[in-house]
Amino acid sequence: MGYRALADLVVLTHAAFVAFVLGGGFLAVRWRRVAWIHLPAAVWGALIEFAGWICPLTPLENDLRARAGEAGYSGGFVEHYVLHALYPSGLTPAVQWILGAGVIAANVVAYTLVWTRRHRE
């Protein structure tokens, strides 16, 4: 498998992880054991945004792209793939705080549903 294909696989994995961070709590409504995997992932996702860190998957993707003879990019995954489409001016600390708050809000809603469902049974 070539470096470009590996870089694309990292992007898909990264996108799946971001989707899981945002929506995994809703999976826990149906399958409660998912929470044991999802909660640490959600904490990590929120920390990445609040602290302004770059996920380790981003440098990995850039390294694989460089090995494939392609250009990498600066900034993080969300800035390059998501915010590029939504916020052309780029990622700012304020936007990162909004994204982190969105992660927390989505998960508060999801785990409120988990908690109420569990206590109804």
Q: For 61-97, what is each residue's pLDDT tens digit?
A: 889 888 888 776 666 555 566 545 444 466 678 877 8
Q: Whose structure tokens read 């590029």? A: 84
Residues of the chain above pLDDT 70, percent: 82
Q: What is the mean pLDDT of residues 14-25?
A: 88
Average pLDDT of every residue of the chain? 81
- Please tell me the predicted confidence (pLDDT) of residue 43: 92
Q: What is the mean pLDDT of residues 14-27?
A: 89
Tokens of residue 78, six digits = 């969300």
Confirm if 35 and 117 have CB atoms less than 8 A apart: no
Name the residue among 50, 104, 103, 54 with its Cα closest to residue 79: 54
- Please tell me the predicted confidence (pLDDT) of residue 53: 84
**Cα dihedral across residues 92, 93, 94, 95: positive or negative:** positive
pLDDT band at 48 (very low <50, low <70, confident <90, very high): confident
